[in-house]
Amino acid sequence: METGPVWDLCQWSSRWPLAASPQLPSAQGAIAYSNSAKSVVIARAGSDAADLILGVKASAEYGARARRAGEPWVHLLLQQEIENPPALADLQSARFHMEARLLSASKTETPDYTPDLHAAQFQVFFSVQNLNRRSPGYGQYLWFGVPIYDDRHRVAPSHKAQDTGGTRMFIFTPSGSVFTSLSAHDRQWIVIDKELLPLMREGLETAWANGFLKDSQSLADYRIAGMNLGWELPGSFDVEMQTRNLSLKATPAK
């Protein structure tokens, strides 16, 4: 039986969408999609390019000037919806594993650059969503973030605020130090292996305390509904990140 793709590729606010035709750049069997502004490489496990490399040349996207306040910014993300996820109340554990290595990162100098507006960030986000159709808060969700790289900080700081990128939902991103003692700035492999369930519960409690998701405060209503990972580039940076061994393993409560 044929099924649809498991992953979607998001190329938001890009002037240069990727072509649909794959190329085979090496004998290792890697498949690459690329153009003048971005690249996606998918490779076999165990190869030098495995499992995934996401690259963006935001300098090509933005041209000679930096993005201005209020303008959209370039994204290159993989996203997936999780089929039939269990409720948080029914879980004993949600163990997340990921390995990442920054391959390159360079900033294009422009006279209007400011770190308040212009950055390069690689993150993982999970949507913790109310999927109880009988709940008045059905469909509302928390963005739970795992920061991998931020050009402005060796270790990304925590971020707990409303999303200004369009969804208006609450974002809860703990500091990068919660997940690893290493920094992607060193361009070596970093390993994240972390229990997320208590952090997601903390994220919901923080959202409730700030007036979000107020229609339901029951863990039985909320589930890990989906995730995305990749680049957000409000600034003119040319970047590449390699990731491998991604997993989220949920264990039911006894």
- Percent of the chain at pLDDT > 90 equals 77
- Say which range, 166-170, 184-188, 240-244, has the weakest mean pLDDT: 166-170
Question: Domain for residue 118, yes or no?
Answer: yes
Closest by CA to 51, choosing from 251, 247, 243, 205, is 243
In a domain, 28, yes or no: yes
Q: Give the Cβ contact number of residue 199 at 10 Å.
A: 18
Domain span at residue 227 reads 8-252
Query: Mean pLDDT over all residues of the chain?
Result: 93
Q: Is residue 2 part of a domain?
A: no
pLDDT in tens, 176-205: 999 999 999 999 999 999 999 999 999 999
Partners of 171 in the β-ladder: 143, 161
Residue 36 counted as domain residue? yes
Number of domains comprising the chain: 1
Examine residue 215 and state whether it is found in any structural domain, yes or no: yes
The answer to whether residue 3 is domain-embedded is no
Q: Facing residues of 172 across strands? A: 144, 160
Residue 166: pLDDT band with limits 50, 70, 90: confident
Give the DSSP H or E segment for 45: none
Residue 24: predicted pLDDT: 60
| Residue in the structure block whose two tokens are 């498949």 | 31
Q: Find the CATH number of the domain harbouring 182.
A: 2.60.120
- Helix then strand then coil, % of the chain, to nearest 5: 10, 45, 45
What does the pLDDT look like over 76-126, one tens digit per residue? 999 999 999 999 999 999 999 999 999 999 999 888 888 888 999 999 999
Strands (E), the chain: 8-10, 31-34, 38-42, 52-57, 74-81, 91-107, 121-130, 141-150, 159-162, 170-173, 190-195, 222-233, 237-252
> Would you give the DSSP letter of residue 203?
H
Residue type, 123: Q
Q: Where does the pLDDT of residue 46 fall: very low under 50, low under 70, confident under 90, or very high at 90 and above? A: confident
d(CA 118, CA 69): 9
